[in-house]
Structure 1
């Protein structure tokens, strides 16, 4: 649980999502990434809830949400499908529009939400990603070593599931610590670590997390390429925050990659590894509270 938040389950089409909620005011939906869940927001969500109606779902396949079996096209865990889940969640909660802030895989859901459902979005916040197609296009040896999980997790089932499933706790601890600035687990609470480890130890959720990356290498990549060719853009105001020791920084100029997609872009960086909300929560609040308040 996130301190001060209530938890409930909401049926969103064919999946039931676990949702944490607190605060009052304009709705602000927080979307987590891999290999995490709602716990990644536990250091910033209470502060955001002082100004906003903060809604923190576990994405399909993560946390306490349903984890359906993937299909051959990898559409089940495509970011288009995950964004549609959030639309159904908003409908269930009777929210016509909302701000959306996403980190990592949740950032990919967030910008797909912005492209597919612009009439439901107020402002868009993105933490620690560049668009999927652009990220693939900028791979070199250094980025491939740092982001090896993009190709590993996208391998056909059940190869990555079996390898991770042999020692899921060790894999999660290695992944989390390797992507932090400090190269250890000090940024994560005991409750968060327990939740992330338990998630990877569950066969259905482990399969779902791999399927998320299979979609990223196929379905999501193809959607990005089609949107770029069609000249589609994010029409909402967007703020992008990246970590100085994170993944987008490896592309050279991550803000430039977003500029082609988001004409109303503002941006900045912070001292952190990949998990900015847990490593440097003050920087996240300083970046996004003024943006969403204005």
Structure 2
């Protein structure tokens, strides 16, 4: 137990096997797991923690390797950073708190963990809200010149170690802030809470965390993509109701029909486009809240 960046929340470290997962727990109501994206951590939810806590028992997690969560060991096939492994760890975290079924909302990398969770643990996921991603295998298939220029980090971070780690390590804060600016609607840092920014800077200054982020993307280019391809070949679909939220200026819109891509994975699908850059939870939290709460509360 400990203090949390989110007022009214408690910080906990949950041990699952040899891993320790950092979570912030607050609110009341049906359980909701929140999963952040890259290059962020739990602080990505700073603007939404209080309003969501009025409706749900929120568990705001640091993904394995990010924030204060432990860093998985390297393996040659990057399986320890796969979204399947991350999903299983976070399922165990929720079960340890007595949440045997729950909803999940994820942004960016966290959204990839969320939809893998819904595929692999379908009886335990009530509702899934995906922010600003299309499925990993579909994203790789969408790489034309425009996507390659905007989402260059997908291939850069997936390069063999220590190439991206060494280049980022030359000026990690510059790399972080360049990334945040270039994906935000206004191309500046004003949309980010100063406390969140400092948390991201601290994370990026840690070479072990930078390596973990690269391993996350190496898994995305290999085992995560393969798992998606295998599920599509079997016709596996997400059984939980799915809400997909994307921005007018982000990565999914470059695919041309991002909602259409999700139709191949879900028979119970809704969508909402939001006026924002990539970082919807921080750039336009009010619009996200307006879409999320009715969807997540639909079974209440």
TM class by shorter-chain length?
over 0.9
Match of 2:215 among 175, 198, 211: 211
Q: In 1, Cα distance between the equivalents of 2:94 and 2:282? A: 26
- Residue 13 of structure 1 and its aligned partner are, at CA, apart by 2.4
Structure 1: which 5+ runs fail to align?
A: none
Q: Which residue of 2 aligns with 1:2?
A: 6
Q: In 2, Cα distance between the equivalents of 1:156 and 1:126? A: 29
Match of 2:164 among 147, 160, 163: 160
Paired positions, count: 294
2:199 paired with 1:195: yes
Q: Which residue of 2 aligns with 1:170?
A: 174
Structure 2: which 5+ runs fail to align?
A: none
When normalised by structure 2's length, the TM-score is 0.97
The farther-off stretch of 2-11 and 31-40 is: 2-11
Match of 2:109 among 105, 123, 127: 105
Match of 2:128 among 124, 127, 145: 124
Q: Is the 8 A contact 1:69 1:208 kept in 2?
A: no
- Residue 201 of structure 1 and its aligned partner are, at CA, apart by 1.1
Q: Which residue of 2 aligns with 1:257?
A: 261
When normalised by structure 1's length, the TM-score is 0.99
2:89 paired with 1:85: yes
Q: In 1, Cα distance between the equivalents of 2:65 and 2:77? A: 17
Q: How does 1:1-294 map to 2 (within 5 A)?
A: 1-294=5-298
Q: Is the 8 A contact 1:128 1:248 kept in 2?
A: yes
Q: In 1, Cα distance between the equivalents of 2:146 and 2:73? A: 33
Secondary structure in 2 aligned to 1:83?
A: helix
Secondary structure in 2 aligned to 1:118?
A: coil
Secondary structure in 1 aligned to 2:81?
A: coil
Q: In 1, Cα distance between the equivalents of 2:249 and 2:74? A: 33
Q: Is the 8 A contact 1:242 1:268 kept in 2?
A: yes
